[in-house]
Amino acid sequence: MVWIEAVCQQRHYPWPGRLRNAPAAKWLAQHITGLALCDDAQDAADEITDAHKRVLRVIDRPAFRQYQGQCEICQGDLYGYRDADKITCAQCSEVIRKDVNDRRLANQLEDKLCTANELVVVIADRFGATIKPKTVHDLAYRKTNPILVRGSTYDEQKLYRAGDVFAELRKRKVIA
Ligand SMILES: [Zn+2]
């Protein structure tokens, strides 16, 4: 830790040697006055606060929180509780209304190109409906108003626009 070195040099403390994170944090806590008296104490405070925040971000990801897409402000990953009204971006602290974010994600999803297998998973996840990959392929084989195949993956799986498939399944009352 750079800051232990700075404190030892500037305050003439004995160098404790290379420490792992926990003992290093303990050493700094015990020598906090020495650290505060260092020329660049403010930088130390900023860096340590930042390191602390980064650690919190890593551990503060329990299973109850779900990925909520990317923050529109800073592009950071958003995590939120399913039944919360608001999501706070861990990176830029922007507070986002969850219903607004849900609609934004739903719109993004509509435009995604997916394979039939991916759509089976997405539809189960979002709408709680069980379909087969064949159901999706069949929508593209119909004589009248078939949905369009929008491309294919490198391994030749057909790609469909998720919104096209949702719309057809809604017409058939498979999903709400
Ligand atoms: Zn953000």
Ligand 1 centroid from CA 38, angstroms: 33
Q: Which two tokens stand for residue 113?
A: 């190109």
CA 54 / ligand 1 centre spacing (Å):
14
pLDDT digits (tens, 9 = 90+) for 97-107: 999 998 998 88
- Report the CATH fold assignment for 111-171: Arc Repressor Mutant, subunit A (1.10.10)
- Please tell me the distance between residue 70's alpha carbon and the centre of ligand 1 in angstroms: 8
Summarised one tens digit per residue, pLDDT across range 107-139 is 888 999 999 999 998 898 888 899 999 999 999
**Domain boundaries, given as residue ranges, for the chain:** 2-59, 65-107, 111-171
CA of 93 to the centre of ligand 1 (A): 6
Q: Determine if the pTM surpasses 0.75.
A: no
Rounded to a whole number of angstroms, the CA Rg of the chain reads 26
- CB neighbourhood size of 103 (10 A): 11
- CA–centroid distance, 68 to ligand 1, in Å, is 12
User: What pLDDT does 42 receive?
Assistant: 75
